[in-house]
A and B are shown apart, each in its own frame.
Chain A
């Protein structure tokens, strides 16, 4: 009995100071993350217009969202296409850049810095720059280049078929430098002996890449893909700044409508904060499920 009572006291003596030092962070974490999250979970079961008290409605928001809301389904479809394309292409290009510029020579360092620059630049500034590039008429950079070759100006931001490809392009361009740095770090941890052994066994460049580099980069790939997925599912600024029209957040014919802009639209322009919270939680579940699948696949491949 005495030993039982002594154990917590002993633990407190040992870790008490650490717990006390953690308290300020825990306070902020609880106040600014856990509490709002818990509130948004509650609000997702209510009808709440932001002004009047929320009214509990059970699962009604989720039912409407999943079975009655064509616009949400459209946003979901757009988002999936965007996520697959931007994460897929972005990861491949990141790896390609890392393989091309993983040395310690000055040209490689300079190239890495150049490709990493978009990651440390304000995303708002970048989006405004893209908006200018795709500006219609003669002074938009894209149309100016087309005009040099005698082509006709393209209405980039008002052609629904071009919206998602433009969003993917912006995302890949802005994110591949970050992925490249992670891959370079991963490449540098691969012992050279493995390559030498493979070479002695007669492996060519492709085989060395496929049998040595790729498997050993799997943890980095998993990280790049998972963080890429999370970021891509939450795309907002690109749609809001580049494609938003006077009355419509998703661009012409909602061609660029994604889940988070849709959430914003419902919550902050249509006063449907309960419904917007439900969208947020559905998005959370999708990201959570996909991240789990990704991690499982990574683990399964490792065991092969």
Chain B
């Protein structure tokens, strides 16, 4: 009797799974029927970021509508915290926005799973000449498909307290690694408790990225083999560790404005801080400046991130949406977004290096960002990098916190990258 009941239960479960399987198997990728290209099109763009950024992009959208009266574009904001989950839900249900923008690799990740359109079919390559080369490369998927293109840029600068520099007798910001550590010593001597900290990329692979490329290394070889077993990779990690353990950089992350306000003399911070410090810390006005990161033994390379924009494969207006993406690189679109960003105090760096000098920062700050971007490098676009990034960062954390030596940490990180490369 008991055996019969067990068998019945097993059969029921099997039936349930099979039934559900049959039910679910129908959901999946399918071609979305396209609306008539001449009929009115209402395009929705889910833009990851803040409301002010969406309002700035809306200006470009309105300009496009002016020249294409049949097409209306509505930009809707997704907060960074839950954007990824919402975009995934939209992809799963194959209903949602026509355009999405978010982290640089997001369009690739959704694209490789069938959620985005290959924009090469719509002549998107013609924009490559206008873009920052490294950033463009990082937006292209490993197989060459273009699921999204850079929408804007973000980068890292050295924020420093001019008053503390003066007190320590330092005339200008450090230009090399040696000068950075020398200045840390001078600042310490002058009474600064914490001379240096890292905001963007602290204990993360982005933090290491700057040192690695400045030392002449890279995460991968050009043919996408992990390349962390080099003397450059070791030199970069040793220097980064020293900044924490020998020169007192905090392992806990302090935001740039708070760090400067607390009397930390130098901070590696993201470009978005440049517009916020005087507003959030009015007492800091006139006491800080920015400069490019100190160069390493090989180069002054700095990390460039940003957001990518692409067209979803479930859009009914792919042609119009792709055409609008191209429009975003025109002078008038970039100028409109820049003007609105200026009005709303949004730290927008356009994806076109020739337009960075006009970005909404002060002319001095815009000039610094333009200089940084000239030698900027972007995240590796190699297969498996996205899956590896957090585990790689953990190896660096172990080295900084003294739980692994440099060689072991790098070897373990390389193993992770190799495993995920497939």
Contacts and interface: CB of A to CB of B under 8 A. Distances in A.
Contacts of B254: 135-137
A137 B259 CA distance: 8
21 contacts: A41-B16, A42-B17, A45-B17, A50-B92, A53-B27, A135-B258, A136-B250, A137-B258, A137-B264, A139-B258, A158-B251, A158-B252, A245-B253, A245-B393, A246-B201, A247-B205, A247-B390, A248-B394, A254-B394, A269-B84, A271-B113
Contacts of A167: none
B343 interface: no
B20 interface: yes
Contacts of A248: 204, 390, 393-394
Contacts of A273: 92
Nearest to B264: A137
A136 B253 contact: yes
Interface string A33-76: 00000110111011001111110100000000000000000000
A55 B85 CA distance: 21
A52 B26 CA distance: 10
B389 A42 contact: no
A268 interface: yes
A51 B91 contact: yes
Interface stretch (B61-69, B118-126, B397-405): B397-405
A248 B388 CA distance: 11
Nearest to A143: B252
Interface of B: 16-17, 20-21, 24-29, 84-85, 88, 91-92, 109-110, 113-115, 194, 200-201, 203-206, 250-254, 258-259, 262, 264, 387, 389-390, 393-394, 397-398, 401, 403
A53 B24 CA distance: 8
A245 B204 contact: yes
B247 to A, nearest CB: 15
A39 B20 CA distance: 7
A40 to B, nearest CB: 10
Nearest to A247: B390
Given A248-B394, A252-B401, A41 B84 contact: no
Interface in A252-290: 252-254, 268-271, 273
A196 interface: no
**B28, B200, B205, most chain A CB atoms within 10 A:** B28
Contacts of A268: 84-85, 88
Contacts of B29: 51-53
Contact of A41 (B20, B250, B394): B20
Contacts of A52: 28-29, 113-114
Contacts of B259: 137
Given A247-B389, A269-B84, A137 B27 contact: no
Given A50-B91, A268-B85, A38 B251 contact: no
Interface in A218-246: 245-246
A159 to B, nearest CB: 8
Nearest to B403: A253
Contact of B251 (A41, A43, A252): A252
A247 B209 CA distance: 14
A158 B389 CA distance: 19
Contact of A245 (B21, B28, B203, B262): B203
B166 to A, nearest CB: 22
A280 to B, nearest CB: 15
B114 to A, nearest CB: 5
Given A247-B390, A268-B88, A38 B16 contact: yes
B389 to A, nearest CB: 5
B12 to A, nearest CB: 12
B393 A247 contact: yes
Given A155-B250, A157-B252, A252-B401, 11 more contacts: A39-B24, A46-B24, A49-B113, A51-B29, A53-B24, A53-B25, A137-B252, A137-B262, A155-B252, A247-B205, A271-B113
Nearest to A42: B20
A38 B115 CA distance: 25
Contact of B92 (A51, A136, A159): A51
